[in-house]
Copies of this chain bind each other. A is one copy, B any other.
């Protein structure tokens, strides 16, 4: 089967998430990276393209030029991955979407609510797909958690506890020539939310994706603990869901001893589920009144819906890159089926808007002393 031709915007040398997207696109052999505007700096764009083996004439330093030319090429790209800092998501996505090139965009959707709304309009008008890489939803056991809750294994959901602590911003990294820290703590590039936008959106998305619940209101207490930091680096959030369930969300980038400790716990009238991203191949399930059981990704507790989402037997750990690859492989299937639409769980513009509303609500609530605010 021929590979889908992929382009990339952003992701030059020094970048983190660009490399992740490239690996994720390769794992299942569905994509071939053939073009890129990997940097807006011509020299860096060329060097980065050459390092990746891109043809010089498909190595751009301007995503608009890239969109225009690739749309005209007979063998132009089918899809583009957008892996820039947040503030460039919208301008870049727009150029491709309006030319019918599918977009696979990193999260959060945009850096501002204004841009997010424009993005939604562009997506609506576009004839191309828009996929947002809320990659943690690609973990097989996250899918199983969602399916178990959907079929009622936990009964009515009462409590959702989600947390996402990291520690890499415990000190003032942004003034120490750390590029990742620089743009992620710069409101102009990252958006009003710091930790809330960078990782809180993941936590929120995961909680909603798994529980199947929609949050109505939240109360948020945001902090910037490091002197001079311009965005939040720690957030405490209380959530109220439709139907009466309640939740707490904690995200932090100043919690020493935590690398990337996204963790979700959901409790209902009949049982509970607990999953941690750093041990993604196992999940605790308790049916109330019975012993705890440890379900494994591809073991005897697996539901079978993992077909296509796992590649190895139980005990052969898969991780972050494979979960990310699951989104790419589902994207490939959708792109191949296009314009027919498949039933799939790929996050798109709705998940993106939802994340933007979350950040916006957190910032608004916190500005009003953690008053309850409605999610837009």
Q: Once the chains are docked, how many angstroms separate the CA of A316 from the CA of B285?
A: 21
How far apart sit A279 and B259, CA to CA, in the bound complex (Å)? Answer: 15
Other-chain residue from B234, B238, B268, B294 in contact with A370 (beta carbon distance below 8 A): B238
**A11 close to chain B: CB less than 8 A:** no
Shortest A307–chain B CB gap in Å is: 13
* A316 to B20 Cα, complex, angstroms: 11
Residues from chain B with Cβ under 8 Å of A255 in the complex: 159, 265, 267, 272
Q: By the criterion CB–CB under 8 Å, are B292 and A260 in contact?
A: no
User: Are B257 and A284 neighbours in the complex by a CB distance under 8 Å?
Assistant: yes
Q: 1/0 per residue A309-338: CB within 8 Å of B?
A: 001111111111110000000000000000
Chain A interface, >50% SS class: loop
Contact A315 B254 (CB under 8 A): no
Tell me whether A115 is interfacial, beta carbon within 8 Å.
Answer: no
Please tell me if the beta carbons of B257 and A236 are within 8 angstroms of each other in the complex: no
Q: Are B246 and A223 in contact (CB under 8 A)?
A: yes
Is there contact, CB below 8 Å, between B27 and A299?
no
Partner of A315, one of B166, B299, B369: B166
Tell me whether A29 and B29 are in contact (CB under 8 A): no
Shortest distance from the beta carbon of A292 to any chain B beta carbon, whole Å? 5
Known contacts: A225-B158, A236-B246, A318-B320. The answer to whether A256 contacts B287 by CB under 8 A is yes
A121 an interface residue at 8 Å Cβ cutoff? no
Task: Report the bound CA distance from A135 to B219 in whole Å.
Answer: 33
- Within 8 Å of chain B (Cβ to Cβ): is A274? yes
20 further contact pairs, Cβ within 8 A, besides A236-B238, A260-B313, A318-B321: A3-B53, A26-B27, A158-B254, A159-B234, A159-B254, A171-B288, A219-B219, A221-B238, A234-B246, A238-B370, A256-B272, A256-B287, A257-B272, A257-B274, A257-B292, A259-B299, A280-B317, A281-B319, A292-B294, A319-B322
Give the top 7 A-B pairs by smallest Cβ distance, nearest first: A260-B315, A259-B315, A257-B286, A317-B319, A291-B301, A256-B272, A259-B314
